[in-house]
Amino acid sequence: MDVYKEAMDYLQTCNIAGVNETETDLVEDVFGAEAEDSFTTTALQADGADLPETPTDLSPDVLLDRRLQVLQNILKHEQQYLSELETLLTPMKALKASASTSQPVLSSQQVETLFYQVPELRDLHRDFYSRLRDRLGLRSDLQPDQDKPQGQGATHPPVGDLFLKMVSQLGVYRGFIDNYESAVDIVRTCTQAEPRFRTLAESMMSSKGPDNSRTEYTLEALLYKPLDRVTKTTLVLHDLLKHTPLNHPDHSLLQEALRISSSFLSGVNEDSHCKRAVTLSKGMRRQLMRDGFVVDMCEGEHSLRHLFLYTDLLLCTKLKGGAAGKPAQYRFSWYLPLPGLRLFWGPVKERPVDLQQRVLAMRGKMFQIREELQQRGAKGLGPRTLDRSYKKLQQCELWLFTHAPLFSLELHSPSGKSHTIMLPSLFELEEWRDAIESLRGKNQETVPPDLLALTSSCVKLRMTQQPRLQSLLQDFRDEDLRGTLGVVVHSACGLQYPASLSVHLEADGYQFFDNAAQTRPSLSSLEPQWDEEFSLLVDGAHCLRLLSVKHPESRESSKGVQVLARSCIQLDPALLKRWRKTTVSLGPVEVSISLRYSAHPLVPPSSTPTQQPPVFGVHIATLAQQEGVLVPHVVRSCAEEVERRGLEEVGIYRISGATSDIQALKSIFNINVRDAMSRLRSLDVNTVSGALKLYFRELPESLIPAEHFQNLAAALDITDVSIKKEAILSILHSCPDVNRNTFLFLLHHLQRVAERQHLNKMSLLNLATVFGPSLVRPPAMMLGQSAPQVDISQEVVVQVSDRSLYSAVVLLHTPSPGESHPLGVFVQVQVVFFYLQCQDLPRPLALAPLEREDEEPADTIL
């Protein structure tokens, strides 16, 4: 029994086995002439048999008329099928009666096996037939083509619910299919052994039809009719959906009915294959557990592949054919046994400059097509124009899927074979990893597969019709987000041991913009703190995916990175008009986040990489405003990296890294802050500390504004310690928010460095001496401009009060040309030194307080 072959034969006879046109003109329009040859090798064109297309050359009225003809033909064939089931059941009553006599034709058990589930099938289709007939407005005493219903509502009635109800009961066929071979064996055995049964089985006559004709069947042929019917149900739904306009109320219902029917047929084929499958260790049979499209990276080339996960192995195939009426075929690429397979999350792949430009250009093209679709849909244009636009959009998305993935999963087998698969979504990549991990420990051995037979069977077993493309939805729902999704990742709790974590975010929808983000890795802590805000431009989004990622504590390869858990939040724009805080469970970790959605028209994505404003050498308030923070990312990331790896480094902040390395890191920050933050772990820690010092040195204005310098100098002369402290803290409080919070963040960081001075030899005084001249500057130093002179006599009085400190400053600081005299430097150092000695400094804020509504439980958003 080959159910799939029957399906393909039927598809070919109905001329719907594949896409009837190659659409090369669309390829050239979207990608340019040079891309046509490469695109025709992809798998999308091979899926025509599974994705019915609405005819593009028909007007809506003609399309609806043909839809009615399809429905009438369905009704006619349904009536014929019912007649065949009634004929099959005709001898059942007599055979049951004879089973209780002394000379039975068949035993009671044989009768039960022979007609198993047939009455239930008849009742299912009898109900469907009568309801469809009534819905079409046909009288029971007339044939479908003899009665023309009147009125627009009767001419094009909604019938999707009837088909959906019918396919939801296809499970009735499961028992019949499982019993089919046993029933056929009884027919063949008893036909040879029992003459009475042979007479019955070889000549069964149907009841008279409308033309008084009768059809002769064999019993075995009638038993095959339900198998033929369950195969054709999916194909009939294809045909009906193909002739149903997109705006018809039946379209979505028929899509769901087709999905259910296809899934049922896939399960039937899978079970049929499993009956012939080999037996693995522990009595298991080889079964298909998951499949989907991935990108196979080999020698730098990206190839779209269909990956099949079986109980004991991974099979990678190339899908060929399926266009212009040709049946789809799979070609073997590679396979890996699951036992002993090692999996590593590969590093995020950087796109070459030329590929990045092509990706940006493709996103711009997609955005333009999407805008045209919305405008045309609003104007109610014909299906032909809409269908061509959707095809262009699907081709663009498929190109992005193939050429622009960033996340890789490395597969290493004990035999030494290795392969790398890639996907644009870390969430989906983790789904694959989890599925493989759950199976690879269950088998101790793999039975060598018959690769030719196994690859051929993929046509029957495949469940994923093509890559997950947003354009395949072809609907614009009001609940989808189109605008800016703001996400603030606050903190996490629930860890059982200290760990360095980051939170990865992914919004779904069209990939016009980079709608993924990741927090910087936290310090090793039981309660990580991020307070990072992200703004994601989204179109068609309805969910936000979150993953918790654990990073190695030392400089190791990316193979030490581990995804701990993942979760998904369904987004309701009505609940996110203002900031709303919620808690998301990511395995054992509870992550606190805030969300806000702002709907607005989107601007086309730039065709060239966005030039980030510089980080170094600009006013800190300007930088903080650009980043939407109170403490710039460069300060937080560098300081936290020093705390991660440099607290025990001798001379940290006194011994700088190589000047060339520091300048290179500065350049990366000026180009891409997120990229620079991700690279810090691979750099020498003295390079990181040197970049932080360079940032403060190159600020146009010091953190403590120059106008406060003389007041600070005067406050240092106050003899009463409590009054002095109050005065100096008051001056700090009067500084701008960004300056104050950044200064406080740095002070707390330097205090943590000094706590390890027995190892790093950096006391509070040493740290004050290093940072004082950069953080507190007299007016004369500000941008090299002239300014009111500071009362040096006051400085001298202050300096004389602590000669040892003054001597230390003179020894540790040699002024460069244009810098102030050590007398002025002394004041700067003593100010920072005084702040560092305060044990009750206010805690800094990384973000401005959010204007949010009252906090809601997580289930109001999830």
Sheet holding 407-412, edge to edge: 328-337, 313-321, 301-310, 288-298, 418-423, 407-412, 342-345
DSSP at 273 = H
**pLDDT confidence of residue 455:** 79
Total domain count, the chain: 3
- Token representation of residue 703: 């953190």
pTM: 0.66
Average pLDDT over residues 827-835: 92
**Average pLDDT of the chain to the nearest whole number:** 79
Q: What share of the chain is helix, strand, coil (3-state, %, to 5)?
A: 50, 15, 35
Looking at residue 606, its pLDDT comes to: 77
Residue 705 has pLDDT above 70, yes or no: yes
* Better pLDDT: 858 or 510: 510
- Residue with more model confidence, 802 or 801: 802
| Element spanning 295, H or E | strand 288-298
Q: Which two tokens stand for residue 786?
A: 């002239």
* Listed residue (476, 475, 464) closest to 44, CA to CA: 464
Cβ atoms of 584 and 546 within 8 Å: the answer is yes
Residue 593 covered by a domain: yes
Question: Within a domain: residue 105?
Answer: yes
Is the model's pLDDT at 668 over the cut of 90?
yes
**Residues 726 and 828 placed together within one structural domain of the fold:** yes
Neighbours of 53 (CB within 10 A): 17
Are 601 and 663 members of one domain? Answer: no
Whole-angstrom Cα distance, residue 128 to residue 163?
Answer: 8
Pair (200, 87) in one structural domain: yes
User: d(Cα 40, Cα 324) in Å, to the nearest integer?
Assistant: 13
User: Which residue among 239, 272, 305 closes a domain?
Assistant: 272
Which of 272, 303, 326 marks a domain boundary? Answer: 272
The pLDDT of residue 146: 44
Query: Is the distance from CB of 86 to CB of 39 less than 8 angstroms?
Result: no
Are residues 599 and 704 located together in one domain of the fold? no
* 191: nearest Cα among 108, 106, 118, 84: 106
Q: What is the pLDDT of residue 101?
A: 86
| Structural domain includes residue 746 | yes
> Is pLDDT of 197 > 50?
yes
Comparing C-alpha atoms, which of 164, 165, 132, 156 is closest to residue 258? 164
Give pLDDT tens digits for 835-854. Answer: 999 988 999 999 888 876 55
Domain containing 596 equals 481-610
**What secondary structure letter does DSSP report for 567?**
E
pLDDT for the residue numbered 265: 74
pLDDT at 448: 73
Half-sphere exposure of 70 (CA within 13 A, CB side): 20
Asked if residue 509 has pLDDT above 70, the reply is yes
At residue 567, the pLDDT reads: 94
- Same domain? 669 vs 596: no
CA within 13 Å, CB half, 587: 13
Q: CATH code at 827?
A: 1.10.555.10
The CA R_g of the chain, rounded to the nearest whole Å, is 37
pLDDT of residue 379: 64
pLDDT at 45 (0 to 100): 34
**CATH number of the domain residue 185 falls in:** 1.20.900.10
The verdict on 596 and 679 lying in the same domain is: no
pLDDT: which is higher, 762 or 373: 762
**Percentage, residues of the chain above pLDDT 70:** 76
Lowest pLDDT segment from 35-44, 783-792, 795-804? 35-44
Note the pLDDT of residue 623: 95
**Which residues, other chains included, contact 112 with Cβ-Cβ below 8 Å and sequence gap of 6+?**
none
- pLDDT-derived band at 649, boundaries 50, 70, 90: very high
pLDDT of the residue at 321: 63
pLDDT digits (tens, 9 = 90+) for 285-295: 778 888 889 99
pLDDT at 749: 96
Pick the more confident residue, 441 or 12: 441
Domain-located, residue 157 = yes
Same domain for 245 and 160?
yes
Q: What is the pLDDT at residue 33?
A: 34
Residue 667 sits in the same domain as residue 812: yes
DSSP 652-707: BTTB---HHHHHHHHHHHHH-HHHHHHHGGGS-HHHHHHHHHHHHHT-SS-SB-GG
pLDDT winner (highest mean) among 181-190, 568-577, 741-750: 741-750
DSSP 126: H
Give 57 or 623, the one with higher predicted confidence.
623
- Model pLDDT, residue 271: 55
Give the C-alpha separation, 346 to 297, whole Å.
12
pLDDT of residue 463: 67
Strand boundaries in 462-571, DSSP class E: 481-493, 500-507, 516-518, 529-541, 543-551, 562-570
Q: How confident is the model at residue 625 (pLDDT cuts 50, 70, 90)?
A: very high
On whether residue 468 sits in a domain, the answer given is no
587 assigned to some structural domain: yes
Residue 710: enclosing H or E segment and its boundaries?
Answer: helix 709-716
On the CB side of 318, how many CA atoms lie within 13 Å of its CA?
12
**Mode of pairing for the β-strands spanning 216-217 and 288-298:** unpaired
Question: Residues near 556 by Cβ (< 8 Å), separated by ≥ 6?
Answer: none
Digit-coded pLDDT (tens) for 476-486: 566 788 999 99
Cα(725)–Cα(835) distance, integer angstroms: 9
Residue partners of 12: CB distance under 8 A and separation at least 6: 325, 327
Of the pLDDT bands very low, low, confident and very high (cuts 50, 70, 90), residue 443 is low
Higher per-residue pLDDT: 206 or 668: 668
Strands 328-337 and 342-345: unpaired
How many Å separate Cα 442 from the centre of its chain?
Answer: 28
Give pLDDT, residue 819: 46
Q: How high is the pLDDT of residue 469?
A: 82
Residue 649 CA: distances (Å) to CA of 628, 656, 691, 757: 33, 11, 16, 10
CATH number of the domain where residue 604 is located: 2.60.40.150
Write down the pLDDT at residue 797.
33
Evaluate if residue 648 carries a pLDDT over 80.
yes
In this predicted structure, the answer to whether residue 458 has a pLDDT above a threshold of 90 is no
Name the nearest CA neighbour of 777 among 692, 841, 695, 696: 696
Answer whether residue 254 is part of any domain.
Answer: yes
- Mean pLDDT is lowest, of 328-332, 378-382, 627-631, for 378-382
Q: Are 744 and 821 members of one domain?
A: yes
521 & 667 share domain: no
Same domain, 117 and 219: yes
Structure tokens that stand for 727 in this block: 């005065």
More confident residue, 850 or 358: 358
Query: Does 54 score more than 80 pLDDT?
Result: no
Residue 354 one-letter amino acid: D
Average pLDDT of the segment spanning 62-83: 87
**Tokens (6 digits) for 320:** 């060929």
In a domain, 740, yes or no: yes
Q: What confidence score (pLDDT) does residue 732 get?
A: 95
Smallest Cα–Cα separation from 432: which of 253, 536, 293?
A: 293
Which one of 569, 584, 610 terminates a domain?
A: 610
How crowded is the C-beta side of 487, counted as CA atoms within 13 Å?
A: 28
Same domain as 565, residue 678? no
Band of the pLDDT at 622, cuts 50, 70, 90?
very high
